Amino acid sequence: MELLYKIFIDPFVQMGTAPDLLVQTLWEGLVGGVLYALIALGFVLIFKASGVFNFAQGIMVVFAALTLVGLHNSGFPPPLSLVLIVGGLGFAAWRFYHDRAVLDPNKVIALAVAAFGLFAFFFLTRSVPAFIALAVTVGVMFVLALGIEKLVLRPLVNQPDIILFMATFGLTYFLIGLGELVFGGEPKVMIANELYLPKGSVEWKVLGGFVSLQKIDIAAGAIASIMVAVLAVFFQKTRIGRALRAVADSHKAALSVGISLEQIWVIVWFAAGIVALATGIMWGARSDVSFALQIIALKALPVLILGGFTSIPGAIVGGVIIGVGEKLGEFYWGPLLGSGIESWLAYFIALVFLLFRPQGLFGEKIIERI
Amino acid sequence: MRAPSERDAAAGEVLLSVEKVSLAFGGVKALTEVSFDIRRKEIRAIIGPNGAGKTSMLNVINGFYHPQQGRITFRGQTRARMRPHEAARGGIARTFQNVALFKGMTALDNIMAGRSLKMHSGFLWQLLRYGPAMAEEVQHRRRVEEIIDFLEIAHIRKVQVGRLPYGLQKRVELGRALAMEPDLLLLDEPMAGMNLEEKEDMSRFIIDVNNQFGTTIALIEHDMGVVMDLSDRVVVLDYGRKIADGTPDAVKSDQAVIDAYLGVAH
């Protein structure tokens, strides 16, 4: 009896008697949820356009944040410049060897990468101003997307999805190694001030109490909303968006209407890289930039199950449900179970969802005629 | 039915020629020294028993397969290896034997996807869906609506294609190929699995496309009645070899063709 009371009555009495605390908990959950959603968004982008679950999305978040901070602190590391020079020139040479004709975009990009490597080797060896570091990081994410397409995806065209999934595992460990090698493994502090991210908090007087809202959290919410809105429209209503979805549905049909798979994959991995960068900045600003962040990325899994693997708005709604559910559970029901509820509640919610709505809240349920 | 003589006069110079093309998968020979040509504005049928290499032939033309030997000349240009999206850029569109649509997308989006190559606005404009990207979107949407009207599928244009009956899926697929405004349209069994009424509709669309847009068409079909009615010239393949080539009437009475279809007494 007493247990039932504690489960079903007591938490709601608490909510009723201290509504400001409830609002604070909801807000914390909302913010956590938005950050989960940002990670989930990266997964959705790649899943939507290639049917591949990209296990490396978490490490891409860490890698992007690490690159940004590392560049600002100690400049572009010479070994990485050398890799870019050698890689860019090597790739261009390989392309020229195969096809000596005119400069195609591949060669131009490869040469540009090599040129950037040279520039970085001579001029970017010391601390780089924050916004230049940001721009260079965007460039690094682009090169990463190019590299993934050329070296990982293209050799695996037409392989079963599980093979591509395993390849993203390989990519994960490669990026962990590369990140540690180049920037070191110790946690770093995100350059929030230098990027003019707001800090401090605002007090919000509500329901006879105070709720404190971190400004960085408000900014994270705003940025996430804008990204989701832009990406949702982009995917639904534009040529490239249609091409992305087309590639996900049928490779051969996409090829037959003249869509280039290579181009689409680079675009989508680059977009996922940009989302990873934004996520890395926001997560980094709240905690530290460390490799532990990639574990949090696994929380995106329940978010995806809830929202549907193919839905951009679903990522946001799923993220918010998981975030809020987690915080409420931790705060009101946690003491009953000796706390620590936060680490598994998300998976539990996802499991319940799988039973009743396996395609997620917004996922497409493809009905096929047979 | 149209008079063959009148159609022959309309057919122009050679648009595509296939010379001694051989294709093998390991030890299996799909095509052996096949040669034929397709003239501008004609309807060219490729027929043959199952496993004759008809679909392989289309896949070679469209760049999905690369033949080990032989040459293909399209619009006067001979190419060694062409990839599918390059073939599409060159003006070759196609449909597939078992319908390859973008199942999760609406009929409208499927056909719009066929315009991908005609749209050029930059990535950034696309991201914002503003300015040039928006203008382009409107302009191409207009053209796509014309195709939708032409194929009489206006009522299903917002329906996810996976939910459509087979006959309509085939029609949407034709629409997607037409949206590319191709010089050469390859149809792989456009009437497979259709009932009589659907076949008649599809035949009408194929003739109209050929007449109104002047599109050259190469089609694979099993229904002999349809083939004989529609096509100007017919190529017959059997076990990867060409056994006959000519007008429907000539092919129909060719002894090799009759043997291939009915078998030979030993």
Task: Encode pLDDT of B1-17 as tens digits.
Answer: 444 444 554 457 888 98
B103 contacts A256? CB cut-off 8 A: no
Q: What is the mean pLDDT of residues A169-175?
A: 93
Distance, in Å, from the CA atom of B188 to the CA atom of B45, rounded to the nearest integer, reads 10
Is the pLDDT at A30 greater than 50? The verdict is yes
pLDDT at B187: 93
Instruction: Report the CATH number that the domain containing residue B139 is assigned in CATH.
Output: 3.40.50.300
Chain B: closest CA distance from residue A289 (Å): 29
Residue in chain B nearest A369 by alpha carbon: B163
pLDDT at B123: 66
Cα–Cα distances (Å) from B7 to A285, B54, B122, in that order, read: 73, 24, 43
Q: Any residues with CB less than 8 A from the CB of B9 and at least 6 apart, and which? A: none
Task: Answer yes or no: do B105 and B81 share one domain.
Answer: no
Distance, in Å, from the CA atom of A333 to the CA atom of A337, rounded to the nearest integer, reads 7
Is the pLDDT at B263 greater than 80? The verdict is no
pLDDT at A355: 86
Q: Is A158 on the interface with B (CB under 8 A)?
A: no
Residue ending a domain, choose from B133, B149, B181: B181
Cα–Cα distances (Å) from A85 to A14, A78, A112, A150, A273, in that order, read: 62, 10, 9, 17, 22
Distance, in Å, from the CA atom of A262 to the CA atom of A283, rounded to the nearest integer, reads 31
Nearest CB to B88; choose among A237, A258, A368: A258
Average pLDDT, chain A: 83
What three-state secondary structure class fits A194? Answer: coil
Q: Any residues with CB less than 8 A from the CB of A247 and at least 6 apart, and which? A: A49, A50, A254, A259, A261, A264, A265
Average pLDDT, chain B: 85
Which segments of chain A does DSSP mark as H helices, in order? 2-8, 10-17, 19-50, 57-74, 78-98, 105-123, 130-148, 161-183, 215-237, 239-249, 251-256, 261-286, 293-296, 300-307, 312-328, 342-356
Of A83 and B5, the structure prediction assigns the larger pLDDT to A83
Distance, in Å, from the CA atom of A313 to the CA atom of A303, rounded to the nearest integer, reads 11
Residue in chain A nearest B92 by alpha carbon: A256
Q: What is the mean pLDDT of residues A198-202?
A: 80
Cα–Cα distances (Å) from B224 to A206, B153, B221, B229, in that order, read: 79, 27, 7, 8
Nearest CB to A257; choose among B133, B162, B180: B180
Which of A234, A238, A259 to mutate to test binding with chain B, by most B CBs within 10 Å of its CB? Answer: A238
Q: Are A239 and A258 in contact (CB under 8 A)?
A: no
Task: Answer yes or no: do B103 and B231 share one domain.
Answer: no
What three-state secondary structure class fits B248? Answer: helix
Task: Answer yes or no: do B150 and B226 share one domain.
Answer: no
Q: Any residues with CB less than 8 A from the CB of A24 and at least 6 apart, and which? A: A211, A212
Chain A positions in Cβ-Cβ contact with residue B96 (cut-off 8 Å)? 252-253, 256
Residue in chain A nearest B134 by alpha carbon: A238
Q: Is A367 on the interface with B (CB under 8 A)?
A: yes
- Structurally, chain B folds into a number of domains equal to 2
Rounded to a whole number, what is the largest CA-CA distance in chain A?
82
Task: Answer yes or no: do B9 and B76 share one domain.
Answer: yes
Distance, in Å, from the CA atom of B208 to the CA atom of B96, rounded to the nearest integer, reads 20
pLDDT at A172: 93
The strand order across the sheet containing B43-47 reads: B92-94, B184-188, B216-220, B43-47, B233-238, B241-246
Residue in chain A nearest B127 by alpha carbon: A234
Nearest CB to B85; choose among A233, A255, A310: A255
Is the pLDDT at A369 greater than 70? The verdict is no
Q: Is A100 on the interface with B (CB under 8 A)?
A: no
Query: How do residues B93-125 score in pLDDT, each as one tens digit?
Result: 999 988 888 888 889 999 998 888 877 766 667
Chain B: closest CA distance from residue A29 (Å): 30
Chain A positions in Cβ-Cβ contact with residue B188 (cut-off 8 Å)? none
Distance, in Å, from the CA atom of B47 to the CA atom of B227, rounded to the nearest integer, reads 8
Distance, in Å, from the CA atom of B30 to the CA atom of B67, rounded to the nearest integer, reads 10
Q: Any residues with CB less than 8 A from the CB of A327 and at least 6 apart, and which? A: A25, A26, A28, A29, A32, A342
Distance, in Å, from the CA atom of A217 to the CA atom of A106, rounded to the nearest integer, reads 40
A238 contacts B93? CB cut-off 8 A: no
Q: Residue B149 is inside which H or E element, if any?
A: helix B132-150
Is the pLDDT at A125 greater than 80? The verdict is no
Task: Answer yes or no: do B164 and B98 share one domain.
Answer: yes
Question: Which residue ranges make up each domain of chain A?
Answer: 18-53+184-356
pLDDT at A273: 93
pLDDT at A238: 82
Nearest in space to B33 (alpha carbons), one of B66, B67, B64: B67
Q: What is the pTM of this model?
A: 0.80
Distance, in Å, from the CA atom of A276 to the CA atom of A260, rounded to the nearest integer, reads 24
Which two tokens mark A3? Answer: 């247990």
Distance, in Å, from the CA atom of A220 to the CA atom of A285, rounded to the nearest integer, reads 10
Q: What is the mean pLDDT of residues B68-73?
A: 88
Its sign, for the CA torsion A15, A18, A22, A23, is: positive
Q: Are A116 and A139 in contact (CB under 8 A)?
A: yes
Is the pLDDT at B179 greater than 80? The verdict is yes
Nearest CB to A246; choose among B89, B102, B123: B102
Which of A235, A251, A256, A369 to mutate to test binding with chain B, by most B CBs within 10 Å of its CB? Answer: A256
pLDDT at B165: 87
Chain A positions in Cβ-Cβ contact with residue B88 (cut-off 8 Å)? 255-258
B115 contacts A255? CB cut-off 8 A: no
Distance, in Å, from the CA atom of A7 to the CA atom of A66, rounded to the nearest integer, reads 43
Distance, in Å, from the CA atom of A76 to the CA atom of A172, rounded to the nearest integer, reads 22
Task: Answer yes or no: do B71 and B97 share one domain.
Answer: no
B162 contacts A369? CB cut-off 8 A: yes
Which segments of B159-195 does DSSP mark as H helices, in order? 166-179
- The amino acid at residue B148 is I
Report the Cα B138 to chain-centroid distance in Å.
27
Q: Are A360 and A311 in contact (CB under 8 A)?
A: yes
Chain B: closest CA distance from residue A290 (Å): 31
Chain B positions in Cβ-Cβ contact with residue A226 (cut-off 8 Å)? none
Distance, in Å, from the CA atom of B101 to the CA atom of A120, rounded to the nearest integer, reads 46
Task: Answer yes or no: do B212 and B84 share one domain.
Answer: yes
Chain A positions in Cβ-Cβ contact with residue B176 (cut-off 8 Å)? 253, 257
Chain A: closest CA distance from residue B97 (Å): 12
What three-state secondary structure class fits A304? Answer: helix
Task: Answer yes or no: do B177 and B105 share one domain.
Answer: yes
Residue ending a domain, choose from B153, B181, B209: B181
Nearest in space to A270 (alpha carbons), one of A354, A149, A158, A367: A149
Chain B: closest CA distance from residue A236 (Å): 9
Task: Answer yes or no: do B213 and B83 share one domain.
Answer: yes
Task: Answer yes or no: do B142 and B115 share one domain.
Answer: yes
Q: Which residues of B touch A (CB under 8 A)?
A: 62, 64, 83-85, 88-89, 93-94, 96, 100-105, 109, 112-117, 119, 121, 123, 126-129, 133, 136-137, 160, 162-166, 176-177, 179-180
Chain B: closest CA distance from residue A338 (Å): 46
Q: Are B35 and B21 in contact (CB under 8 A)?
A: yes
Which two tokens mark B15? Answer: 């648009």
What three-state secondary structure class fits A193? Answer: coil
A250 contacts B103? CB cut-off 8 A: yes
Task: Answer yes or no: do B105 and B77 share one domain.
Answer: no
pLDDT band at A370 (very low <50, low <70, confident <90, very high): low
B114 contacts A238? CB cut-off 8 A: no
Can you give the residue range of the structural domain that contains B116?
92-181
What three-state secondary structure class fits A288? Answer: coil
